């Protein structure tokens, strides 16, 4: 096979996962290699398929940074573990989880390990992860401090696995492991049909049940949620993914309130209690009242509710204190004391330099060692042998000044596993991350995990981060008896609900503004496309010049073009250059695209995979085409067509894939309000000019409202103000008319009032009458409305009044449903 020709054995100093010392392939790798050899199209096509699926799901790229590089890349070749070897790893990891949980319980309780000098107090009290307010002295201790846990393992040249790092604060990676397994199963189904690989899904079901079991006692039907710091988190994809696979809401700190001794989610219908939080937020940010005062991500009073036992957190606040590598040298003694057992899974040899003997030894061998800060936020390793003399001297001075803040260890040589380099299989260093969750009095290990090729000069760099090259971990099954079935769940009787008033106010706010920005993008793109089409035709006729002058004013008002260029003569170079450059400008379309990207990223859990795909890679492609079209009208027109199609895709998916609940209502409400304002201030704006320009104004209004074909069908192309205005203002069968938007807004507000109990009045019915009367003026004698100007003034005033009322309605919606504050009143005024 072509891909195997470049495969070579690893250096003698590293353990080779694939090749034995006799240069033969290890038996447990032979199955996957046989599958790869038999692939008809080669491995390259399958790799591209998997890469595309991961990119479309948003797993590899943060949606907020479509212009940046991927955080990690995917290797299709799994890391294979035998059943016997996995059994040993599983046993050692479970023991280690018990040990770290016991250490946490002691450090936040009696602190006997400090009193008995089994652990230096400095490693606790000087550790930034130790949260003193969370120590239990007069409240209820958590049922379990460590409910889930991840550990990085490395196999040394001896063939034995050692612990590289513990992750107890916010263990990340399990969502990526499950998603990678799903993608690999779709891209390489032949392997899963022929190789007995243990499944991951049962672990998730058991994890869900174990988390619910940790809820406060006495709660018959506990509510659970995933607490995220928000879409700016580097692992936000995983937060969304976990909320989906566990079937629970994703909440931010702003969605929660601690009140009357309980924690609740703020919804449209009021407060909904929550009893268990799967925490993906760093402990220090969890409560600005008792922990980090400058945090805007947490919940004021959360620590107090954990003391009273009103809510359970997984993991408990402050659990990151045992992550420090400085604790590794003491775990053997702690295991003997707290568990009465020797440590099964050894840690790497680490010297905490707070001990005089360790400091002396490390300084004597400093050039051969790696030094790591162990108490601060920055724990990046320092390879001493690569330092300049001045840097080495400065490091030694830092160590002598604060020896307890550093650990030292010798360089680590991980085992080598086969990796696909695009053409061949080649050996690459590999670290394996294993995941554990609580189950009853013990723990359960995910039968798989993530393997990572270290980035940089040492495998100790970027510990805890997901970067570099990741691959799936396959644990082979001995036989069918190894297959784990999903847990047998007891179904509680639930009342049937269809209202959807449990939607978080923050999510409703985001959906509403997402709808507005999607519609604004469509409006801006249509306005630009109409203008660019007329300019691209070449010679500008007098009628075209009138239309372009009107369009130029609209472009200036919408901040899509520089005012000087937009108001210049259409045949001038300044106008054409300003229009051609609009796609790459940092305002206008770029601003709206940024807003859509930010909002869709923050609400990934609310959308289907198809909508996420459209909002991510498709949006990135649209932005790229707009930027590439800079200075050229034809590419700009093609890019604008794609923008309009992109909006149509999002709209269609929202119409077909979203339940007509409160979420969809707010999304569509935002669109309808934005479109109504566009008709009032955009499509009708040209009519504010002299009646001499009205023929051009009528064509512009029909084009911007996408109603040209309808008008031509009805009136055979004869332009008259009354029919045009009737079609774009009064015709409620036209989905682009003002009346259609107002009826839709009225229907949404009526629905929201019924499900939430809060009513926002729609626009007064007198507005409909005024609009009808205004249009009727143009059905009379042309001499009257053309020369006296009364009808013109009335139409202009109606457009302005409609725009003001829509602005007021948007503010009322915000007060009633998002910010929950009453309308401002002057002192002494009355609501009566």
What's the CATH code of the domain at 386?
3.30.1490.270
Q: For 22, which DSSP code? A: T
Cβ neighbour number for residue 294 with a 10 Å cutoff: 6
Angstrom distance (rounded) from CA 683 to CA 478:
70
Q: Copy the structure tokens of residue 104.
A: 């946490």
pLDDT attached to residue 765: 83
Low-confidence stretches of the chain (pLDDT < 70) are: 1-12, 61-70, 479-501, 538-540, 583-586, 609-610, 613-617, 631, 686, 688-693, 717, 781-789, 820-832
Residues 150 and 285 in one domain: yes
Angstrom distance (rounded) from CA 413 to CA 11:
10
- Provide the number of structural domains found in the chain: 4
From 367, 393, 409, the end of a domain falls on: 409
Q: Which domain holds residue 595?
A: 505-658
Residues 6+ apart with CB under 8 A from 344: 88, 91, 92, 95, 96
Q: Copy the structure tokens of residue 697.
A: 């104004």
Chain centroid offset of residue 314 CA: 20
Residues 597 and 705 in one domain: no
Angstrom distance (rounded) from CA 510 to CA 669:
12
Residues 176 and 312 in one domain: yes
Residues 368 and 380 in one domain: yes
Residue 738 lies in a domain: yes
**Residue 496 near residue 475, CB atoms below 8 Å:** no
Residues 133 and 253 in one domain: yes
pLDDT attached to residue 668: 94
Residue 280 lies in a domain: yes
pLDDT attached to residue 465: 79
Residue 219 lies in a domain: yes
Cis peptide before 218 (omega within 30 of 0): no
**Residue listed under structure tokens 């590899």:** 60
Residue 750 lies in a domain: yes
pLDDT attached to residue 795: 80
pLDDT attached to residue 166: 95
Cβ neighbour number for residue 352 with a 10 Å cutoff: 25
CA dihedral over 657, 637, 524, 672, signed as positive or negative: negative
Angstrom distance (rounded) from CA 21 to CA 18:
10
The residue count for the chain: 832
Parallel, antiparallel, or unpaired: how do β-strands 442-445 and 431-439 relate? antiparallel
Residues 105 and 117 in one domain: yes
541 burial type by CB count under 10 A (0-12 exposed, 13-18 middle, 19+ buried) = exposed
Residues 676 and 818 in one domain: yes
Q: Say what the pTM is.
A: 0.83
> On the CB side of 625, how many CA atoms lie within 13 Å of its CA?
18
Phi, psi at 551, each rounded to 5°:
-65, -35
Residue 402 lies in a domain: yes
**Residue 561 near residue 578, CB atoms below 8 Å:** yes
pLDDT attached to residue 8: 46
Residues 575 and 648 in one domain: yes
Angstrom distance (rounded) from CA 371 to CA 364:
13
Residues 112 and 181 in one domain: yes
SS3 684: coil
- Of the candidates 486, 9, 456, the one whose C-alpha atom is nearest the C-alpha of residue 200 is 486
Strand partners, 439: 442
Angstrom distance (rounded) from CA 599 to CA 507:
10
Residues 714 and 572 in one domain: no
Parallel, antiparallel, or unpaired: how do β-strands 72-74 and 468-475 relate? parallel
Q: For 173, which DSSP code? A: -
From 461, 479, 497, the end of a domain falls on: 479
Cβ neighbour number for residue 202 with a 10 Å cutoff: 17
**Residue listed under structure tokens 């770029």:** 590
pLDDT attached to residue 66: 42
From 385, 409, 433, the end of a domain falls on: 409
Helices (H) and strands (E) in the chain, counts: 29, 21
**Alpha helices for 79-151 (secondary structure H):** 83-107, 112-115, 122-125
Residue 458 lies in a domain: yes
Residue 51 lies in a domain: no
Q: Copy the structure tokens of residue 646.
A: 């992109």
Residues 214 and 284 in one domain: yes
Instruction: Label residue 464 left, alpha or beta by phi (over 0 means left) and psi (-120 to 50 means alpha).
Output: left
Residue 69 lies in a domain: no
SS3 768: helix
Q: Vertex 171, ends 182 and 32: CA angle to 5°?
A: 35
Residues 712 and 748 in one domain: yes
């Amino acid at each position: 096979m072509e891909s195997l020709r470049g495969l070579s054995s690893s250096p003698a100093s590293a353990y080779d996962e694939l090749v034995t010392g006799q240069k033969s392939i290890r038996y447990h790798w032979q199955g996957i290699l046989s599958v790869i050899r038999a692939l008809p199209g080669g491995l390259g096509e399958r790799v591209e398929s998997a890469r595309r699926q991961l990119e479309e799901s948003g797993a590899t790229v943060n949606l907020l940074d479509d212009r940046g590089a991927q955080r990690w890349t995917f290797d299709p070749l799994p890391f294979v573990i035998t059943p016997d070897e996995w059994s040993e790893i599983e046993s050692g990891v479970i023991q280690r989880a018990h040990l770290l949980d016991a250490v946490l319980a002691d450090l936040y309780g009696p602190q006997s390990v400090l009193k008995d000098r089994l652990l230096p107090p400095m490693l606790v009290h000087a550790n930034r992860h130790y949260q003193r307010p969370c120590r239990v002295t007069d409240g209820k201790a958590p049922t379990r401090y460590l409910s889930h846990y991840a550990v990085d393992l490395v196999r040394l040249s001896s063939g034995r696995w050692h612990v590289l790092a513990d992750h107890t604060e916010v263990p990340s990676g399990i969502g990526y492991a499950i998603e990678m397994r799903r993608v690999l199963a779709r891209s390489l189904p032949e392997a899963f049909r022929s190789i007995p690989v243990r499944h991951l899904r049962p672990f998730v079901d058991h994890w869900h049940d174990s988390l619910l079991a940790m809820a406060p006692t006495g709660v018959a039907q506990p509510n659970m949620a995933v607490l995220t710091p928000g879409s700016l988190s580097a692992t936000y994809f995983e937060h969304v993914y976990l909320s989906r696979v566990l079937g629970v809401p994703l909440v931010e700190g702003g969605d929660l309130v601690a009140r009357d001794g309980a924690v609740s989610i703020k919804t449209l219908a009021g407060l909904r209690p929550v009893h268990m939080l799967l925490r993906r937020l760093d402990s220090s940010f969890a409560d600005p009242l008792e922990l980090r005062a400058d945090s805007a991500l947490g919940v004021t009073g959360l620590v107090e509710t954990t003391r009273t036992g009103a809510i359970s957190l997984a993991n408990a606040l402050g659990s990151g204190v045992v992550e420090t590598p400085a604790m590794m040298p003491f775990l053997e003694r702690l295991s003997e004391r707290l568990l009465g057992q020797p440590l099964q899974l050894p840690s790497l040899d680490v010297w905490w330099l707070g001990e005089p003997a360790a400091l002396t030894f490390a300084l004597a061998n400093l050039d051969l060692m790696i030094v790591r800060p162990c108490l601060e936020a920055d724990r990046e390793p320092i390879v001493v042998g690569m330092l300049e003399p001045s840097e080495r001297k400065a490091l030694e001075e830092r160590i002598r000044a604060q020896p307890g803040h550093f650990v030292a260890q010798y360089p680590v040589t991980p085992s080598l596993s086969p990796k696909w380099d695009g053409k061949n299989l080649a050996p690459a260093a590999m670290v394996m991350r294993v995941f554990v969750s609580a189950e009853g009095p013990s723990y359960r290990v995910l039968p798989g995990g993530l393997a990572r090729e270290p980035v940089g000069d040492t495998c100790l760099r970027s510990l805890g981060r997901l970067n570099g090259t990741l691959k799936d971990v396959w644990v082979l099954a001995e036989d069918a008896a190894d297959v784990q079935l999903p847990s047998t769940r007891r179904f509680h009787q639930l009342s049937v609900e269809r209202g959807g008033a449990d939607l978080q106010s923050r999510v409703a706010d985001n959906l509403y503004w997402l709808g507005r920005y999607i519609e604004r993008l469509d409006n801006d793109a249509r306005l630009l496309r109409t203008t660019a089409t007329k300019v691209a035709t070449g010679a500008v006729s007098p009628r075209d010049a009138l239309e372009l002058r009107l369009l130029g004013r609209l472009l200036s008002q919408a901040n899509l073009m520089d005012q000087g260029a937009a108001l210049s003569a259409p045949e001038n170079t300044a106008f054409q250059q300003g229009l051609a450059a609009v796609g790459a400008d940092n305002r206008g379309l770029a601003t709206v695209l940024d807003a859509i990207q930010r909002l869709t990223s923050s609400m990934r859990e609310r959308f289907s995979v198809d909508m996420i795909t459209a909002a991510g890679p498709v949006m990135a492609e649209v932005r790229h085409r707009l930027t590439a079209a800079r200075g050229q009208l034809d590419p700009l027109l093609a890019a604008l067509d794609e923008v309009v199609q992109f909006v149509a895709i999002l709209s269609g998916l929202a119409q077909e894939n979203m339940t007509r609940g409160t979420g969809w209502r707010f999304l569509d409400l935002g669109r309808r309000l934005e479109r109504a304002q566009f008709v009032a201030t955009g499509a009708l704006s040209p009519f504010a000019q002299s009646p001499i320009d009205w023929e051009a104004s009528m064509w512009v209004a029909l084009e911007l409202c996408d109603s040209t074909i309808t008008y031509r069908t009805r009136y055979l192309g004869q332009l008259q103000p009354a029919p045009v205005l009737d079609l774009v203002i009064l015709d409620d069968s036209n989905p682009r008319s003002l009346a259609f938007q107002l009826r839709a807004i009225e229907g949404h507000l009526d629905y929201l009032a019924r499900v939430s109990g809060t009513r926002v009045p729609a626009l007064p019915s007198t507005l409909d009458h005024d609009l009808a009367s205004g249009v009727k003026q143009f059905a009379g004698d042309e001499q009257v409305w053309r020369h006296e100007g009364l009808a013109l003034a009335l139409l202009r005033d109606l457009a302005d009044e409609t725009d003001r009322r829509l602005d007021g309605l948007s503010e009322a919606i915000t007060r009633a449903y998002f910010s929950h504050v009453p309308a401002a009143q002057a002192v002494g005024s009355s609501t009566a």
